[in-house]
Structure 1
Amino acid sequence: MTITRDDDVLGGEPHIQGTRIGVRHIAERVIESDRSPAYVADQFDLPLAAVYAALAYYYEHIDEMRSLDRTNEAAFDRVREESLKPKEPIQ
């Protein structure tokens, strides 16, 4: 399995070809959640090689991945901020 990009899948973020599983999804579970690659492969029903391909892509493009993280976090912050404000004044 290879890592690819498609504007119609995950907003163009790199993902495992033929899936909607992003490189960042894999990296988050292995790196940040401290799960083994084998566990993540089992949870996503992927070959172990696909998990390692995603991790290799992540580390080879670490600046891009961090930029995507910042962009994604900023979008979530905007949504949180807007959802906490009432649309109309409370009377």
Structure 2
Amino acid sequence: MTQLAAIGPGNGIAAQPPQDADQRAELARAAKAFEAIFVRQLIGTMRQASLGDELTGSSAVDQFRELSDARMADSLADKGGLGIAELVLQQLEKTK
């Protein structure tokens, strides 16, 4: 009976895949967040380097541009944008 008592729905391999799926989803979210931050930095640097129109340069316009850039970066990362998130996810899965 000891052998039968060790077998149950909470024991064994069947209980592990949901944990792995949750862990993969968490890694995917982290990879997308990393891509969004990277793209945000990239856009911000490009905007600083551009010879933009300084006639409308005010703190409100700067704040709007920052928010717009952040939204664009988040949207790009959500849709797979540059593919950075997928590469980061693959690398993280290799190390686990």
**TM-score, structure 1 normalization:** 0.31
Higher relative strand content: 1
| Structure with max Cα Rg | 2
Higher relative helix content: 2
